[in-house]
Amino acid sequence: MNSEIKKLGSALIDFLDSSPTAFHATENIEKRLKKEGFSELDESEPWKILPGEKYFVKRNSSSILAFIAGKEKPVKTGFRIAGAHTDSPLLKIKDNGENKSASCIRVTTEIYGGPLVYTWLDRDLGIAGRVMVKSKRGLKSMLVNINRPVAVIPSLAIHMNREANKGFEFNPQNHLQVVLTADGSAKNVLKGLIASELKEKEENIAGMDMFVYDLQKGVFTGNDSEFITCGRLDNLQMCHAILESFLSVKAPVATTVAAFYDNEEIGSKTLMGADSTFTRTILERITALTSSGKDDIFRALSKSFLVSADGAHAHHPNFPEKHDPAYAPLMNKGPVIKFSSSFRYATTAESSSEFEQICEQAGVPCQKIANRSDVPSGSTIGPMSSAALGVKAVDVGNAMWAMHSIRETAGTLDHFYMKKALSHFYGRK
């Protein structure tokens, strides 16, 4: 494996391992942006935008949008936008769900998104998320990551369910409770764990958005490290590719935008989701501060292009029948352009052709996927963002196996290819 490719893959694994939730992913992106000289803008304050300067805006501490003001005004060049999502399918902890069963203290979870539930059983689980803490100055938001095995969801022995290997339907309320301790007399175990980690008093914890997550670290797999296996590849791999490519382009001609949204896995219809005012508001403010015409925002958007980046299904060697044989992308063969006749993806013939040209100019191969005609596809931030903004858009992603499993697998070389293609997209004249 080429050292440059493996170095980028190692950086991705580090990012994945340090981002157990959307809150942590956003914090890591923010730290990187600040290190590169980006300034934070507050939506409640007046803004001043200067050509060539670098800025970012956050919502809910789980979504972040960064931009570099181009040499040319948006009304002349439009915006170059690439977007992905910071959230992944998880099990969310109910903060009032602690209960006792068989002398064990458990906490109830609810399914967030569409995880492959069986992959979560018998795993070493940590707990992470965002906590609201009372202080003398009011409420403060704090991130917590209990990155040691403090929880487990035990499976049922096959002797008690002889049909388990033929399939088992999990009841989320009953079967996905997380066991925290065998001490049935313990009280407020979860809150105690969190308070201890934060070095705060239990009574000061006012609210929480907490999740369990897999503690196993990301690794290179395959004979020549050609794969990366880790949790949350969907969709932190694309977040990392966008961030790295966005930061690699110096002094862009057009205003470049890197958008990282929460809540894609549950439909994006939130304050911080792609189906909100977040992006539109920021683009309007940028245009208003760099132009004088009332219709300049509409002219800018008509010249803009959006790359919606999310995972794509790789041809599965053990389940080839699940793919349309004409659209079965392979690992490490380049970015995948995603098509759907029902526009579950935003791709059109025009936007697909433009992205193919970007890949060709960048020296990167690319592939295409459409689901079997008898199998509905998933969706992305692409269609809603394209519709809300009125911009051309293409849906792309890297091929991967086991999407929505607690551990997914993607191609090491594909990550390099995607970064290279997006760097060209951001930097082209």
What is the tens place of the pLDDT at every residue in 95-125? 999 999 999 999 999 999 999 999 999 999 9
pLDDT in tens, 6-19: 999 999 999 999 99
Same domain for 248 and 202: no
User: What is the total count of domains within the chain?
Assistant: 2
pLDDT at site 131: 98
Per cent of the chain over pLDDT 70 is 100
Q: Are strands 336-339 and 367-370 parallel, antiparallel or unpaired?
A: parallel
Q: Please indicate, yes or no, if residue 264 is contained in any of the structural domains.
A: yes
Q: Please indicate, yes or no, if residue 226 is contained in any of the structural domains.
A: no
Q: Which one has a higher pLDDT value, 285 or 168?
A: 285
**Residue with the two structure tokens 């970015």:** 335
The whole-number average pLDDT for the span 66-71 is: 97
pLDDT at site 375: 87
pLDDT at site 294: 85
Provide the token pair at 81.
Answer: 């936008």
Q: What angle do CA 378, 380, 383 make, to 5 degrees?
A: 110
Main-chain dihedrals φ then ψ at residue 56, nearest 5 degrees: -150, 155
The whole-number average pLDDT for the span 165-171 is: 91
pLDDT at site 398: 98
**Does pLDDT of 350 surpass 90?**
yes
pLDDT at site 121: 97
Same domain for 394 and 267: yes
**Does pLDDT of 406 surpass 90?**
yes
Rounded to whole angstroms, the Cα distance separating 336 from 322 reads 17
pLDDT at site 292: 80
Residues 211 and 406: beta-carbon distance below 8 Å: no
Q: Please indicate, yes or no, if residue 120 is contained in any of the structural domains.
A: yes
**Does pLDDT of 408 surpass 80?**
yes
Same domain for 393 and 253: yes
The whole-number average pLDDT for the span 187-211 is: 96
Same domain for 207 and 243: no
Query: Confidence band (pLDDT; 50, 70, 90) for 282?
Result: very high
**Does pLDDT of 76 surpass 90?**
yes
Provide the token pair at 105.
Answer: 């203290």
pLDDT at site 340: 95
**What residues form DSSP beta bridges with 427?**
none
Same domain for 163 and 138: yes
Crossing angle for the helix pair 233-248 and 3-17, to the nearest 10 degrees = 120
pLDDT at site 388: 95
Amino acid, res. 282: I
10 Å CB burial of residue 284 (0-12, 13-18, 19+) is middle
**Does pLDDT of 209 surpass 80?**
yes
Same domain for 352 and 377: yes
Same domain for 180 and 36: no
Q: Please indicate, yes or no, if residue 220 is contained in any of the structural domains.
A: no
Rounded to whole angstroms, the Cα distance separating 387 from 366 reads 25
Q: Please indicate, yes or no, if residue 280 is contained in any of the structural domains.
A: yes
Residues 343 and 394: beta-carbon distance below 8 Å: no
pLDDT at site 268: 97
Same domain for 84 and 100: no
Q: Please indicate, yes or no, if residue 71 is contained in any of the structural domains.
A: yes
Q: Tell me the pLDDT of the chain averaged across its residues.
A: 96
Main-chain dihedrals φ then ψ at residue 352, nearest 5 degrees: -65, -45
User: pTM to 2 decimals?
Assistant: 0.97
Same domain for 352 and 262: yes
pLDDT in tens, 327-340: 999 999 999 999 99
CATH number of the domain within which 379 lies = 3.40.630.10
Cα distances (angstroms) measured from residue 203 to each of 99, 208, 310: 19, 13, 40
The whole-number average pLDDT for the span 391-401 is: 98
Same domain for 399 and 256: yes
Q: Please indicate, yes or no, if residue 277 is contained in any of the structural domains.
A: yes
Same domain for 394 and 248: yes
Domain that holds residue 408: 3-88+231-427
Crossing angle for the helix pair 349-362 and 412-427, to the nearest 10 degrees = 100
Same domain for 244 and 208: no
Provide the token pair at 184.
Answer: 């049935």
The whole-number average pLDDT for the span 139-148 is: 97
Among 214, 243, 262, identify where a domain stops: 214
Among 172, 189, 214, identify where a domain stops: 214
* Coil, strand or helix at 106: strand
CATH number of the domain within which 122 lies = 2.30.250.10
Q: Please indicate, yes or no, if residue 223 is contained in any of the structural domains.
A: no
Per cent of the chain over pLDDT 90 is 95
- Of the given ranges (163-167, 298-302, 413-417), which has the lowest mean pLDDT? 163-167
* DSSP assigned state of 152: B
Provide the token pair at 28.
Answer: 């890591």
pLDDT at site 34: 98
